[in-house]
Amino acid sequence: MTPNPYLWLVPILPLAGAAINGFLGRHSSKKAITAIALIFCGAASAMALFLAAGFSSTSAPYYYDFAHWIRSGNFQVDFSFYLDQLSLVMLLVVTGVGFLIHIYSVGYMWEDDGYYRFMAYLNLFMFFMLTLVLAKNYLVMFIGWEGVGLASYLLIGFWFIKDSAAAAGKKAFIVNRIGDFGFLIALFLMIKHFGSLDFTHVFAAVRTLPTETGGAGLLTAIGLLLMVGAAGKSAQIPLYVWLPDAMEGPTPVSALIHAATMVTAGVYMVSRSSAIFDRAPMAMMVVAIIGTLTALFAATIGIAQTDIKKVLAYSTVSQLGYMFMACGVGAFSAGIFHLMTHAFFKGLLFLAAGSVIHGIGGEQDMRKMGGLRVYMPVTFLTMSIATFTIAGFPPLAAYFSKDEILWKAYSSPNGSWVFWLIGVITAFITSFYMFRLWFLTFFGDYRGAAAPEAHGHDDHGHDDHGHGHGHGEPHESPWVMLGPLVILAILSVVGGWVGIGDRFEHFLAPVFQSGATAELAHETAGEAAGKGTETLLMLISVTAAILGFLLAWALYLRRPQLPARIAAALGGLYQAVAHKYYIDELYGVLFVKPLIDGSTTILWHGVDQGVIDAAVNDSATAARHVSDNARHMQSGNLRSYAGWVAAGGALVIAYMVWMGIR
């Protein structure tokens, strides 16, 4: 490992930006705020590029011990940063996409009163995300982990005067607490058994342990607990419920935090812990199953959503499921590869959706869009690229990453054809709902124009960012917003090409040593048979994507009256899907209501009011009653006092006399 003193600058720079804007922004001009936010974020990006230059697949990891933190006996945790191939990929994704979204936000949030607050939060998010990515031990990672949760909470509830936004922020925060609980227990187990939280030490200790094939042991427990944490942060079953609600936040936030970077932290963490998962096949299996189920489950919900951002939110959950599927079958590099391409195209999808929402005055209901390709050509073009990318059309980015995952799900020793099959079905559904969104938004006639004033400002749907100007005609967004779209569109096209010939996998190989070597050995063994199968599987998934496109085309462009009839024919099933399988209601009945009722009756009325308050109040009442009676002795009558004194004296004398006699 090589020490690199520049490492700590990467996270610190956005923190400085956040501090300046957060403390001074209220009274600064918007230009100054913009300059600060962009310069500090841009400097971090430049720093990341500087670090990336001259870092190859064979480079030893960089590290930097910034400061001592906890030193207790043999146990020590320091503020130290670490950069290897895996964190480098994350670093570039976070700073790159993050910087683009900063630029986009300038256009999107310019009119908002909380502009300085928004920029400060964005920079704060960058700080925590970079801390998470660059951490050298689990505890520093946990700081970043909690910090991005905080930033996410602040930004989801950015329009906090709106009840739904405040509630969504709280929901995200509380659901993440459940995941963090698992993460923390995993850390405690590591401290207890390995005496360290440093990645290098922990993984070295793990590698001395045998693989837990037969049953579940320590590593399986740690792996599963880490997965609980990852499921919370990365919105997997059963903790995915917060992500769709998180769409209450401004759209750049949805793009940055809830699509491109923060929600992928769980995938990063699981990949980072690959040494642990490698030796805990059961935990791997659970990860794969959760990922696969989430991918399918969320995709089906995505079909029936009408809010453009909700569709994208479920799509994100579904794509994250793919990544976990990859991690679960041991193809960590494929998961990270998809993470990277997903950051490009999903960031792009959200930003383009934001551009659409911005252009038609805050409307998010796709049923009120349509025909927008005429009004906003650049948005249409970039959104099309993103849609074709996520559907998996070659040679766009997701084609490479998704096929890599599907192939690994099929061929890896931990994989199975079941994962592959569900993956392909999900790919078909993904293609269908994304093209549904595409056709509904950009084709046909504009369905909102009929009464542009009627649903103007007072009826803004969710993304109520109160623009000053009127919204008679849909209009294209300014170039400060379109620029990032174009760059991300280019990345969505070419981003997958780094994976050609397994170059991406080889780049990450040093990180996933143990897993990758096993995989490579397996691959060379089945190379001859594998190539043919791989091509076949690839054809099948491309066919699935095309079928999805055709189905969406048939239903939403050629026969637009059909979907309603199908929905009516399906009846209950359609209702269930449209209501997200009533999962929120189910959680409400199973967890939220019992918790609230239990807290109200037992904890609040019972313990708090019944025991704690009662103890204080009752002792006060008792004291008052006693004194109330006692005060009658103090009559103010001098002679009665004298009587008491004389009686007391007589009593004392009597006692002494009696003692004397005895």
Residues at the contact surface with another protein, assessed by CB under 8 A: 631, 634-639, 642-643, 646
| C-beta of 639 vs 662, nearer to another protein | 639
Shortest approach of another protein to residue 164 CB, angstroms? 57
Shortest approach of another protein to residue 142 CB, angstroms? 60
Q: Helix 85-109 to helix 115-134 angle, to the nearest 10 degrees?
A: 180
| C-beta of 60 vs 645, nearer to another protein | 645
| C-beta of 536 vs 661, nearer to another protein | 661
How many CB atoms lie under 10 A from the CB of residue 317? 26
| CA-based nearest residue to 271, from 182, 346, 206, 339 | 339
Task: Transcribe 353-401 into DSSP letters.
Answer: HHHHHHHTTS--BGGG---HHHH-HHHHHHHHHHHHHHHT-TTSHHHHH
| CA-based nearest residue to 408, from 337, 497, 316, 345 | 337
Percentage helix, strand, coil, to 5, in the chain? 75, 5, 20
Cα separation, 203 vs 472, whole angstroms = 60
| C-beta of 469 vs 639, nearer to another protein | 639
Q: Are 377 and 476 in contact (CB under 8 A)?
A: yes
Cα separation, 645 vs 354, whole angstroms = 88
> What is the torsional sign of CA 552, 553, 555, 557?
positive
Q: Is the peptide bond before 5 cis (omega within 30 degrees of 0)?
A: no
Shortest approach of another protein to residue 659 CB, angstroms? 19
Shortest approach of another protein to residue 628 CB, angstroms? 9
Q: Are 346 and 260 in contact (CB under 8 A)?
A: yes
| Beta strands 2-3 and 75-83, pairing class | unpaired
Q: Are 318 and 303 in contact (CB under 8 A)?
A: no
First-last CA distance in the chain: 93
| C-beta of 27 vs 639, nearer to another protein | 639
Amino acid at 587: Y
Return the residue matching tokens 């037992």.
602
3-state secondary structure of 460: coil
Shortest approach of another protein to residue 660 CB, angstroms? 15
Cα separation, 98 vs 121, whole angstroms = 12
| C-beta of 6 vs 655, nearer to another protein | 655
Structure token digits, residue 311: 């569709």
| C-beta of 27 vs 631, nearer to another protein | 631
Shortest approach of another protein to residue 620 CB, angstroms? 18
3-state secondary structure of 452: coil
| C-beta of 595 vs 646, nearer to another protein | 646
**Longest CA span, the chain:** 121
Q: Are 199 and 136 in contact (CB under 8 A)?
A: yes
Shortest approach of another protein to residue 654 CB, angstroms? 15
| C-beta of 572 vs 636, nearer to another protein | 636
Shortest approach of another protein to residue 631 CB, angstroms? 5
| C-beta of 213 vs 635, nearer to another protein | 635
Shortest approach of another protein to residue 630 CB, angstroms? 10
Shortest approach of another protein to residue 643 CB, angstroms? 6
Shortest approach of another protein to residue 653 CB, angstroms? 11
| C-beta of 607 vs 645, nearer to another protein | 645
The angle at the Cα of 375, spanning 108 to 394, to the nearest 5 degrees, equals: 85
Shortest approach of another protein to residue 656 CB, angstroms? 15
| C-beta of 72 vs 637, nearer to another protein | 637
Q: Helix 9-24 to helix 30-52 angle, to the nearest 10 degrees?
A: 180
Shortest approach of another protein to residue 634 CB, angstroms? 5
Cα separation, 288 vs 621, whole angstroms = 61
| C-beta of 458 vs 628, nearer to another protein | 628
Task: Spell out the long-range contacts of 386-389 with Cβ–Cβ below 8 A and sequence spacing 24 or more.
Answer: 386/345, 386/346, 386/348, 386/349, 386/352, 386/488, 386/489, 386/492, 387/349, 387/434, 387/435, 387/437, 387/438, 389/341, 389/344, 389/345, 389/348, 389/492, 389/493
| C-beta of 207 vs 625, nearer to another protein | 625
Shortest approach of another protein to residue 624 CB, angstroms? 13
